Amino acid sequence: MQIPKRIASGLINALKGGVVPRTGLGYIAVGRSDEIDALLKDVSIAEDGGAFFRFIVGRYGSGKSFLLQTMRGHVTDIGFAAADADLSPERRLCGTKGQGLATYRELMKNLSVKAKPDGGALPLILEKWIDKVKSDIVAEGVISPDNAFFDTEVERRIYSKINSLEDMVHGFEFAKVITEYYKGFRDGIEERKKNAVRWLRGEFNTKTEAKECLNVNTVINDDNWYDYIKLMTSFLVSAGYKGLVVMIDELVNIMKISNSVTRQYNYEKILMMYNDVMQGKAHNLGIILGGTPQCVEDTRRGVFSYEALRSRLERGRFSTDDVKDLMSPIIRLSPLNYEELTVLTEKLAEIHGVVFGYEPKITLEDRIFFVKTEFGRVGADLNVTPREMIRDFIELLNIAYQNPTKSIAELMGEDEFTFAKGESDEKEDGFEDFDI
């Protein structure tokens, strides 16, 4: 496996800590091909000017966040921008103390493109937009860059592009801020550029402050932040990107809101966004929300407690856990099977070897025994998740590395590994088609 040591080290540290790494996921990805294919079909619809809205539902540690981060890498690689945020007590979809705005700020902080995959891409996007205007003029061959009127033509084109945004809700203010950024770019005034970026990130708290710095009469707030997501999407398309995919995880934090009225307001915000996307009012935009089965299906506090959402999202009569409809708004994650987990342990062992500079001695038989042992625990079918298995396996690799004279069997408390040979036993343990 050819993986840079820096990325390998980041993967091992993050996975051992039980969190999803933001880079290098392709080196450990297994399974989920059907779910990824379904989401990529959605992305192709957004690329053609459409929009999509999806819920990714799975238990804690089942791979929701991993799937979201994998999609973030996929969409930025093919020319989309991506923005992701985790909800928390301080970050919601709406609130009375700026919790909705806090989510918007987090999304803008994590705004990523292929050239800047770790977030903070807004200034890069703005400069790319200006460069694209210039290159379009040069490509037409009407006026050359050394012509005295070139800057005048650039400014005219920029105003023309910005005017197309003014027809959208809050488009006039958005266009004025973009214009301010261009003027700062043109005249080399860093403070002007910085103020424009701050406003676009939602960092102005009062209209008075915005008026003084940028001569605009509004700011991004709890009520209007989704309108600015749509404006940002249109701007991204004009800058040469294919669209924007917004990923919001930890939906369970809305379910945890104790005040029922506040909870309902947040579900109402989801409904508004869902209707907007599904009715074709949004373009080149994808929204993916991640949550647990309980936070979605609980009819007392979850998403389904809001009847208008439940009636739109509830599973139909013909879809089951075994026969899924991956075209429905909700994608429910199934557990990874034994073979997928065994392949995952192989990838982890190779990466661990890269980090610590050794050739892993763990064999296929060792890895199969590890997976079978994990699922052999009482209640494992309900409680063991990929997150827990990964943590346990990395711990086993750490101990094996520090105790090179002991075999994997000894470290797992066995003298040697034994496997049942009967056909029924093989089918029961899930490795019937898996050859050692």
What is the rounded average pLDDT of the residues 267-290?
Answer: 96
Confidence at residue 421, expressed as pLDDT on a 0 to 100 scale: 46
CATH value at residue 78: 3.40.50
| The last residue of a domain, from among 297, 332, 367 | 332
Does residue 348 sit in the same domain as residue 277? no
Average per-residue pLDDT for the chain: 87
* Position 219 in a domain: no
pLDDT at 419 over 60: no
Q: Would the CA dihedral through 159, 160, 164, 166 be positive or negative?
A: positive
Confidence at residue 371, expressed as pLDDT on a 0 to 100 scale: 86
| C-alpha span between 108 and 83 (Å, rounded) | 7
Helices within 279-407 (DSSP H only): 293-297, 307-313, 338-356, 364-375, 380-383, 386-402
* Position 226 in a domain: no
pLDDT at 412 over 90: no
- Mean pLDDT is lowest, of 24-33, 193-202, 260-269, 359-368, for 24-33
Q: What is the pLDDT of residues 41-57, one digit of tens each?
A: 999 999 999 999 999 99
* Position 312 in a domain: yes
More confident residue, 389 or 88: 88
Does residue 82 sit in the same domain as residue 152? no
More confident residue, 316 or 9: 9
Confidence label for 429 from pLDDT (cuts 50, 70 and 90):
low
pTM: 0.84
3-state secondary structure (DSSP) of residue 357: coil
Q: Would the CA dihedral through 361, 367, 368, 372 be positive or negative?
A: positive
Does residue 43 sit in the same domain as residue 75? yes
pLDDT at 166 over 50: yes
Confidence at residue 64, expressed as pLDDT on a 0 to 100 scale: 85
Q: What is the pLDDT of residues 29-39, one digit of tens each?
A: 887 788 889 99
* Position 11 in a domain: no
Domain count, the chain: 3
What is the rounded average pLDDT of the residues 287-315?
Answer: 93
What is the rounded average pLDDT of the residues 304-311?
Answer: 95
* Position 142 in a domain: yes
Does residue 421 sit in the same domain as residue 348? yes
| The last residue of a domain, from among 303, 332, 361 | 332
Does residue 347 sit in the same domain as residue 417? yes
* Position 234 in a domain: no
Closest by Cα among 87, 90, 91, 83 to 109: 83
Does residue 248 sit in the same domain as residue 107? yes
Does residue 301 sit in the same domain as residue 370? no
* Position 291 in a domain: yes
| The last residue of a domain, from among 266, 299, 332 | 332
Does residue 106 sit in the same domain as residue 127? no
Q: What is the pLDDT of residues 186-195, one digit of tens each?
A: 889 999 999 9
Q: What is the pLDDT of residues 378-388, one digit of tens each?
A: 555 555 678 88
Cβ neighbours around 140 below 10 Å, total = 9
* Position 297 in a domain: yes
Does residue 154 sit in the same domain as residue 86? no
Helices within 260-306 (DSSP H only): 260-278, 293-297
Highest mean pLDDT among 25-29, 43-47, 60-64, 135-139: 43-47
Confidence label for 60 from pLDDT (cuts 50, 70 and 90):
confident
Does residue 87 sit in the same domain as residue 70? yes
Give residue 161's domain range.
122-214
Side by side, the strands of the sheet bearing 330-332 are: 81-86, 244-249, 285-291, 51-57, 330-332
Does residue 107 sit in the same domain as residue 246? yes
Does residue 304 sit in the same domain as residue 358? no
